[in-house]
Structures are given as C-alpha cells and as structure tokens.
Amino acid sequence: MSEEFQDKAKQYREMGKTAFIIGYTGECGKELVKALSKNRIFNKVVLIGRRKVDLTPDPGPEFVRDFVYRKVIDYDKLEEYTEAFQGAQVGYCCLGTTRGKAGKEGFIKVDRDYVLKSAEIAKSTGCQHFSVVTASSANKDSMFLYVKTKGEVEHSLKQMAFDKLSIFKPAMLLCERSERRIMEKVALTFMKPWICMFPTAGSVPTSYVGTAMVVDTVTPSEGNLRIYNNEQIHSVFKQNEQKK
C-alpha cells in the first residue's frame, strides 16, 4: 500500500475502533475481510451472518466470527439481535443475492429490507460510519427490479443521517465465484473485448472494491456522504496499491 495510506491507517488504528460486516460470505465481503486483515485498522471486527463460515486463511484475532452467545442471526428477526451491532462505530454491508436464486420477493427482502433494517439497528446502537455496496446503475425510479431496489437502498440510507455514509457503486464484478451464475457468465463472455479495451468502464475486480472500502474508512471526509462510481473504485485501488 502507498505511504500516504499507511500513515492514515496508523492514525486510524490508534483510535481503537470496532467494526461489523454483514454479507461477509459474499465475493465483495470476502475481499473486504482480506483487506481489513491485511491492514489491521480496527481493534475488533465482528462478522455477522446467518450461518458460521470458516475463513481461509484465518484473518486474525480481531475478527470475531460469532457475537454474544455464539449465535448466528436470523435476518427476519433482526430486532432480536441488536447485541450483534453494539459497540461498533463502523459498519460494512456487502449483503446481496440474485432474483434467480431467491425469487423476486426474496431478492427485495435481502437486497433492500435486510440492508436497511441492519442499518437502522446499527445507527440506533451507535454506528457512525456506514459503508454499503450497491450498483453502478442504481436508480430508485427505474422500472427494472435490480436497479430500482439498489436505488431505493441508496435513497433510504441517505435519510438516516449517519455521520458518514459511503456508497460503492461497482459495475460487473470480476471474481472467481464459489457459485456460478449462468447469466453473469454469459454476459462476461460477451463483454471480454469491452473489458480489455475499457477496463474501468463496465467491470471491476471484487478485490478493488474491498480495498477501496478500507481506504475510504481511514480517509477523513468532507461532508457526510461519499459516493464511488466504478471508475473511482479503480482509481482508489490503483493509487493506494502503489508500493513505497
């Protein structure tokens, strides 16, 4: 990482903060865990999910796979799990599914309702900075379900008045998925020439997203809202991955 980032990370680390991650088993979530493990900017990171998942390699002692009472959460009963969010000044949300996997109602529940309910609980328990991954095309007024749902999330989060809200809007995510998405694989095949010619326009590696979220965390903000489009995620990653 760049020398500038290292200086910021050191200053941030000295604050002794705690963070939580929801959606840590997804592709962006996994890369966020790796980036946090590598840079050690928190005293503790709580991984919140509906099931226990072992991480390989082990990310380090500040990562807590289970919260109070060693239980995983039920997203349909989030109000019963406020203890999972308590004590965290920073919250990361990489939660998401697909319509193909969860159906229309299931997609809305996971990608909008669970995200917003988690944010509400986090805000009520003292979270000051909330970071979320949405989509480059997010638009609450769209007629398309995916785009509309992501847009509704962004709109609602802006109304919650976090001290700092960071929204990451990646285009097509590039990664080696643990589960194959057929339509995504087909789209990627056709987009390969475009990606090669214009690497920052329509796609981004999930590792770039994870790193950009960490860089944003330690960077002092002007105002309470930061929005990163796909090109800016590329830029943040490349600027801060430079060696000393």
- Give the N- to C-terminal CA distance of the chain in Å, as an integer: 7
What's the pTM?
A: 0.90
Q: Which residues are catalytic?
A: 146, 150
- Determine whether 141 is exposed, middle or buried from the number of CB atoms within 10 Å of its CB (0-12, 13-18, 19+): exposed
The CATH number, out of the four listed (3.30.365.10, 3.40.50.720, 3.30.70.100, 3.90.1200.10), of the domain defined by the range 3-240: 3.40.50.720
pLDDT in tens, 122-150: 999 999 999 999 999 999 999 999 999 99
Judged against a pLDDT cut of 80, whether residue 194 lies above it is answered with: no
What is the domain partition of the chain in residue ranges? 3-240
Whole-angstrom distance, CA of residue 221 vs CA of residue 187: 36
